[in-house]
Amino acid sequence: MTQTVANKKPKLDKKQAILDSALQLFVEQGFHGTSTASIAKKAAVATGTLFHHFPSKDDLLNHLFVSIKQELADDITQALANFDNAGKDLKTDAEYLWQQAIDWALKHPIKQRFFLQFSMSNDIDAAIRGQAMNGILHFVVQLITKGQQQKIIADFPIPLMLENCHGQYLAAIRYFTDNPQWGNDPSQRQASFELFWRAMKAQ
C-alpha cells in the first residue's frame, strides 16, 4: 500500500508541474505563443511525459481551465459552509458569493489573469465552459433558480443569466486588477456588488 502511494506521487507531481508551468506561460505568452516544448522544459519533464498526461495543448488548456474553476468553486463552497446567515436572504447570499469570488481572485493574481485572458476565448471548448458554469459553479445556478422562483431575480433563460454573471465578474476583477488600491476598499467592493445585483434582479 505504501509502495503504491509512493509510486503514484511522482506522477502526480509531474502532472501538477506541467499545469503550473502551462498556467504561467499561457498568461505570459498567450496560448498560441506557448509551445508544448517550452511547457515541458519549464516543468522539467520530457515532452513525452507532457503528452502522456495531456494528448494536446488544447487538452492541457481545457484541463487547466476546469481545474482552476474547480478550485474557485471549492473555495466558495467551503466559505458557504462557514457562513452563518446562509439561506436567510437571497441578496445576502448573493453578496457573500460575490465577495468571496472577488477575494479569491485577489488572492490568486496569476489565476485571475488566466480567467481574464481565456474565459471568453474561443481557445476554450464551449462544452468545457458549459461544464464549468453548470456543473462546477452549480451553486450559482441554484441561487438564480431560487431567485427566479421568488421573483427576486429577472426571469431570463438561466444560460443567459450565467453568461451575464460571468461577464460581470470578469469586469469586476479587471477593475480591481487595474486599480489594486481599491481591492480592499469596502465602498468600492460594495459598489461592484450593487452593479452586479442591479443587472440580475427583477424590475
pLDDT, tens only, 123-181 = 999 899 888 888 788 889 999 999 999 999 999 999 999 999 999 999 999 999 999 99
Q: Which of 34, 41, 73, 71 is nearest to 56 (CA)?
A: 34
Instruction: Assess contact for 42 and 71: CB atoms under 8 A.
Output: no
In this model, does residue 7 exceed pLDDT 60?
no
Distance, CA of 177 to CA of 193 (rounded, Å): 16
What CA–CA distance (Å, rounded) separates 168 from 116? 12
> Is domain 61-200 given the CATH code 2.30.30.830 in the classification?
no
pLDDT of residue 4: 46
Q: What pLDDT is stored for residue 129 in this prediction?
A: 87
Query: Considering the entire predicted model, what is its pTM?
Result: 0.85
Q: Is the pLDDT of residue 87 over 70?
A: no
Q: What is the mean pLDDT of residues 85-89?
A: 73
User: Confidence band (pLDDT; 50, 70, 90) for 3?
Assistant: very low
8: pLDDT strictly greater than 60: no
CATH 1.10.230.10 assigned to domain 1-55? The reply is: no
pLDDT tops 90 at residue 109:
yes
Within the chain, where are the H helices?
2-29, 36-43, 47-53, 57-81, 90-107, 109-118, 126-131, 138-149, 158-178, 186-200
| Stretch (H or E) spanning 88 | none
Residue closest to 193 by CA, chosen among 103, 79, 86: 103
Q: What nine digits make up the cell of 43?
A: 516543468
**pLDDT at residue number 10:** 58
Which among 57, 67, 179 has a CA at the least distance from the CA of 123? Answer: 57
For 35-84, what is each residue's pLDDT tens digit? Answer: 999 999 999 999 999 999 999 999 999 999 999 999 999 998 888 888 77
CA distance 189 to 103: 10
- DSSP-derived secondary structure letter, 201: B
Q: Residue 24: pLDDT band by 50, 70, 90 thresholds?
A: very high
Neighbours of 108 (CB within 10 A): 16
Packed helices 57-81 and 2-29: angle between N→C axes, nearest 10 degrees = 110
Task: Report the pLDDT averaged over residues 87-101.
Answer: 89
The full set of domain ranges for the chain reads 1-55, 61-200
pLDDT(5) > 80 = no
